[in-house]
Structure 1
């Protein structure tokens, strides 16, 4: 009995897929999680997603699909969290490669369905930007989700679209998503988070970190990303809803436009045409900017002093929590320094660690 879960946007969606499997399917056989190797610049200095030719040690599953075992390695300078995820999760990770467009992903899915004969197929998106119309002012990364949506709706098999943590990616507001949400499938609890607790100690996904935090009862306003976007942490954040797949396609104009694309470049061109931007262009521009920066040395006293200032300003903005990614970028540290920063903060101020988030003190005068 094999379950197939497609992580719509890759990254944290793959971690959430493991949470979902534990919550819904318990101790059944491990799932196959089909996911992008698209870890953004905090982990991977190269813009865009990685394909099969960016790794060594992949194992063929079908003609077009490869699994990522723990022994696999990204070829430098590329980076990827997938091998470590494969080592720590009890599931098979399969590489979702978008370089042949939606047609290529459709082909991968069809081959996997034929090969695995899965008991169920879930398409999982944390946050809900897979339902974006394209005119949302906070929309930043629609392409990955649009590609998986475009592919899934063309596969001749029943696929259930699930939205976990509506609004937690900060791209589409919960108010906009709510009319689209169907049956409540599950509300995550702290027990569900145990399945991925150790992964969340190091994985950089902000949306899935907030999903886990809301499941553990954390409430407030979490500031995320380099832009400091405020995301509400509410009871709704721990929920999983089913959404009609056809309704999602009808809403997502980019997904409809890219169904017959045969390359990632072609799909990216449609994003520029329809939405006026490409998230990979943003990554290209940011990567070029980062190469010109000199990262700040991680000096403990200096970092904690600058953290005090950041926290005071965040509290003035009404922020109650933030992510380690946000702190890393706000303090002008590099992605490679994120884990060292995390260890410094937790060891210095353990009372502020609301795993896997960082709590902003309510009393600025208490800052040390």
Structure 2
């Protein structure tokens, strides 16, 4: 009774897949989550996705697909959250390796379907950027989702496309998505978020963190990313909708363009042509900038006054919450300091921690 959930964009989508499995299927150990090893530069300093040759101790799941067990390790300087996910969650994590383009990912999916004979296959995207045309001005990371969408559309098996947390990734607004979302499949609850709560204490995903927070009832406006994007947290945020797979493909120009690609370089070239950019180029440029950046000193005397200034400015913008990833960047720290920052802030102001987000109260109720 194996179930297969494809995490469309990797990263936080894999954590959301565990939430989905708990909510819809009971969350036992019968689910395989197929996902990229593609983390933010805070975790993995190398731009782009990791392939099988970037890990030690992978295990063959099928002839074409590798399982990432808890014992696996990324080969330095690469980093990855997947081994820790495998250690903390009951699911089997399998690696999407896009090195051979959409055709390669299609072969991996076909191999899994042949060998596992899953009782269900869900393609899950948090936020909804899998439905982007490619020319939206807010679009930042269409590549991974487009590859998985293209591959799923080529596989001869029934696959259900699900969008969780419409608009939470900040790439398409809820208004942009509203006409494309199909039937409501589920609304996440606090009970659904509980199995991944320990993971979200350390995992850097902002979108899935907000998904879990809104499942617990949190509402407001959360500021995310290095650019400080405001994301509304509403009653729609913890929902999951089905979307017609063929309609998604007909809308996603990049997914259609890359269907016959056999290398990641080809996928990137077509992303630049269709969307005007490749997100891996953005990561390459940011990695060079981070290499030259000198991180700020991390102690209460240095950080808390800067935090107070940021919170005052954020309040003026109507912001009620933010992420520790965003705080790491606005306080001029680097990724290796994120966990220490989180501990410092929670120890200093525990009432502000609304897991896994940081609360920015109105000035009148600010205890500082």
TM-score category of the 2 structures, normalised to the smaller one:
over 0.9
| Corresponding position of 1:85 | 85
Specify the SS of the correspondent of 2:197. helix
CA distance in 1, matches of 2:271, 2:139: 12
Runs of 4+ residues over 4 Å off in structure 1: none
| Corresponding position of 2:358 | 358
CA distance in 2, matches of 1:167, 1:27: 25
| Corresponding position of 1:262 | 262
Q: 1:318 Cα shift?
A: 0.6
CA distance in 1, matches of 2:218, 2:289: 35
CA distance in 2, matches of 1:267, 1:6: 19
Is residue 133–residue 253 contact of structure 1 (8 Å, CA) maintained in 2? yes
C-alpha distance 364-75 of structure 1, shift in aligned 2 (>3 A) = farther
Q: What pairs with 1:131-210 in structure 2 (closer than 5 Å)? A: 131-210=131-210
CA distance in 1, matches of 2:68, 2:27: 22
CA distance in 2, matches of 1:208, 1:257: 28
CA distance in 1, matches of 2:195, 2:91: 11
TM-score, reference length from structure 2:
0.99
Matched, 1:278 2:278: yes
CA distance in 1, matches of 2:263, 2:217: 42
CA distance in 2, matches of 1:27, 1:351: 31
Gaps of 5+ in 1: none
Q: 1:61 Cα shift?
A: 1.2
Q: What pairs with 1:112-131 in structure 2 (closer than 5 Å)? A: 112-131=112-131
C-alpha distance 348-243 of structure 1, shift in aligned 2 (>3 A) = same
Is residue 186–residue 240 contact of structure 1 (8 Å, CA) maintained in 2? yes
Is residue 312–residue 364 contact of structure 1 (8 Å, CA) maintained in 2? no
Q: 1:300 Cα shift?
A: 1.6
Matched, 1:69 2:45: no
Specify the SS of the correspondent of 1:158. coil
Q: 1:367 Cα shift?
A: 5.5
What does the per-residue CA deviation read over 1:275-327, in whole Å, with 9 as the maximum and x for residues that have no partner?
Answer: 11110000000000111111112122111111101111111111000000000
Matched, 1:332 2:332: yes
User: What is the Cα-based RMSD across aligned positions, in Å?
Assistant: 0.9
CA distance in 1, matches of 2:281, 2:28: 41
Specify the SS of the correspondent of 1:236. coil
CA distance in 1, matches of 2:349, 2:133: 42
Is residue 182–residue 243 contact of structure 2 (8 Å, CA) maintained in 1? yes
Q: 1:63 Cα shift?
A: 1.9
| Corresponding position of 2:235 | 235
Specify the SS of the correspondent of 2:4. strand
Is residue 102–residue 151 contact of structure 2 (8 Å, CA) maintained in 1? yes
Q: 1:209 Cα shift?
A: 0.3
CA distance in 1, matches of 2:366, 2:247: 50
| Corresponding position of 2:42 | 42
CA distance in 2, matches of 1:210, 1:19: 13
Is residue 308–residue 367 contact of structure 1 (8 Å, CA) maintained in 2? no
CA distance in 2, matches of 1:27, 1:155: 25
CA distance in 1, matches of 2:309, 2:275: 36
Q: 1:196 Cα shift?
A: 0.5
TM-score, reference length from structure 1:
0.99
CA distance in 2, matches of 1:299, 1:197: 27
Q: 1:346 Cα shift?
A: 0.7
Q: 1:238 Cα shift?
A: 0.5
What does the per-residue CA deviation read over 1:20-54, in whole Å, with 9 as the maximum and x for residues that have no partner?
Answer: 00000015542000000000201000000000000
Matched, 1:102 2:88: no
| Corresponding position of 1:111 | 111
